[in-house]
Amino acid sequence: MASTPELQQDDTVTFLPHRLNRQPVVVRGLTADELWICVGLSALVGLVLGLLLAWLTSTLALIPSMIVATVALGVFAGGSALRRRKRGRPDTWLYRQLQWRIALGYPLFSPYVGGGSLVTRSGHWATRRGTP
């Protein structure tokens, strides 16, 4: 067997593949966690729209119908939009972006999503190095 730099003398692999610990893509470029976020937000929008339409038309069947329709639209449109925004960014970009937005917009919820460990200061940074 030809010796390659990745293999040692006893044919053990000396490196870990780059994508070993990444979540697999499930639907339309979304991982499982991103898909659940997209489905949950779409279902919430569908519930609100369904309740409003059910109240206006006095038809309760519109509530689950709107939930199903908005989930389908949310996965289709949200998957495409999120795939474009994630392109070329690290794997944890979406989660850090959500943490950062919650830490800035809703500081009371920040400790619950781990936003306390993020740097949220804006302004000029100084190294405090000057001429002696």
Domain chopping of the chain, boundaries = 27-116
Q: Rounded to whole angstroms, what are the CA distances from 37 to 52, 92, 94, 103, 110?
A: 23, 14, 11, 18, 18
Q: H/E element holding 6?
A: none
Name the DSSP letter for residue 112: G
* Closest to 70 (Cα-Cα) out of 52, 56, 86, 84: 52
Tens of pLDDT, residue by residue over 46-99, are: 999 999 999 999 989 999 999 999 999 999 998 888 888 888 888 778 888 888
Q: Is this structure's pTM higher than 0.85?
A: no
Confidence class for position 4, pLDDT limits 50, 70, 90: low
Better-predicted residue by pLDDT, 17 or 128: 128
Name the DSSP letter for residue 84: H
